[in-house]
Amino acid sequence: MLLINTQRLAKEIQHLQSGDFRLYCLYVVAALVVLLIAIAV
């Protein structure tokens, strides 16, 4: 599951390399928050 998410994230990075980097940072923060919540539960 983590590998699938990593591959998906890699594709997102490729799309965002020519896009908005701040949006990518926001996406990473959101993903970390979701991950922490999943671990806490």
Question: CA 38 to CA 3: how far, in whole Å?
Answer: 17
Q: Tell me what pLDDT residue 38 has.
A: 94
Q: Tell me what pLDDT residue 13 has.
A: 73
Total-model pTM: 0.47
Q: Tell me what pLDDT residue 1 has.
A: 59
Q: Which of 21, 41, 17 is nearest to 29 (CA)?
A: 21
By three-state DSSP, how is residue 38 classified?
helix
Per residue of the chain (41 residues), give pLDDT as tens: 567 778 887 887 777 666 677 777 888 899 999 999 999 98
Q: Tell me what pLDDT residue 17 has.
A: 65
Q: Tell me what pLDDT residue 7 has.
A: 84
Domain ranges of the chain: 2-40
